[in-house]
Amino acid sequence: MADLHPLAFLLGLEGVALLRAVAGDDGLDRAFVEARIAEVRRLLDEAAPTLGGGVDRGTLGTVDGYRSWASTYDQPGNPLLEVEEAVVRAILDRLPPGRALDAACGTGRHAAWLARRGHTVTGVHSSPELLDRARVKVPGAEFLAGDLRALPVPDGGFDLVVCGLALAHVAELPEVLAEFARVLRPGGHLVISDVHLVSRYLGGVVHQTGPDGRLGMLPAYRRGAADYLAATLPAGFLVRGCAEPGWPPTDSAGGPQARVWCPEAADVAYTGTPAAIIWHFTRA
């Protein structure tokens, strides 16, 4: 059981902003530092009684978590999806049409992009609710229920595998990468994305309501670049590229409470900080 504490989160944003100032980021002068310290005092004196205490959160499996998230997952305005899709789609647009697997396909956002570019698309996901939405969004694709660790598709059946923002939910990263190698033909492409390690600590962990009505945290394994390489290279993949796009300036950084109590600190904590990590591999 972990504590989801709004005041702790806002104080953490102030701390990140102060650390960036101490590190010498441009424009973060003494006046900025003094403003942050004054704001910390205001948070403790004024915000604390308003925000209240923390909320206990348990763990929640991905099937239950995505069941409650399915109806809102595709809503516009999610800056992480916008950052990730810009990089992933630029990679995909350089690849010729072929047989594409969207692993952990969600509502089919990457599957739809691939289908419009002439790929024959198969999607796999463990959530029935998300698969239903994907089938409506991409009627010409095939969607299957399955697990990333045991994909229900044949050996060497694909020219391309895409896996977007899902691997952080999986403990067995080498096992999943071995599956991706199994289903790719030699020379096939693998494009994977995930929430960046740094952004995990800026609130990048999914919370949803479980079947019992209680708030739960979906699995969120924290991995650096070396962890992905340790899983992909032994599976027979070659690195083609890696990108770590940063959060763009936005008027929603940190969420609603941060916009009320510490918007400048939230802007500094997020803007330019890596939002996602995106890899492009080929199977040797």
Topology, domain 62-201+220-251+274-283: Rossmann fold (3.40.50)
Please report which confidence band the pLDDT of residue 57 belongs to, taking 50, 70 and 90 as the band edges. Answer: low
% pLDDT > 70, the chain = 88
Is residue 55 within 8 Å of residue 3, measured between CB atoms?
yes
Minimum mean pLDDT range among 18-22, 63-67, 151-155, 172-176: 63-67
Report whether pLDDT(211) > 70: no
Amino acid at 284: A
- The predicted-structure confidence for 79-106, as pLDDT tens digits, reads as follows 899 999 999 999 999 999 999 999 999 9
Task: Give the Cα separation of 102 and 29 in Å (integer).
Answer: 46
- Residue 123, exposed/middle/buried by CB under 10 A (0-12, 13-18, 19+)? buried
Lowest mean pLDDT among 3-12, 28-37, 96-105, 264-273: 3-12
- pLDDT for 1 equals 39
In this predicted model, which residue has the larger pLDDT, 76 or 8? 8
Q: What is the C-alpha separation between 139 and 119, in angstroms, rounded?
A: 13
Q: What whole-number distance in Å separates Cα of residue 181 and Cα of residue 184? A: 5
Residue 39 has pLDDT above 80, yes or no: yes
Report the distance separating Cα 276 and Cα 179, nearest Å. Answer: 23
Q: Rounded to the nearest 5°, which phi and psi values hold at 252? A: -120, 10
Q: Of 125-129, 179-183, 247-251, where does the model show the most confidence?
A: 179-183
**DSSP state, residue 196:** -
| Start-to-end CA span in the chain (Å) | 43
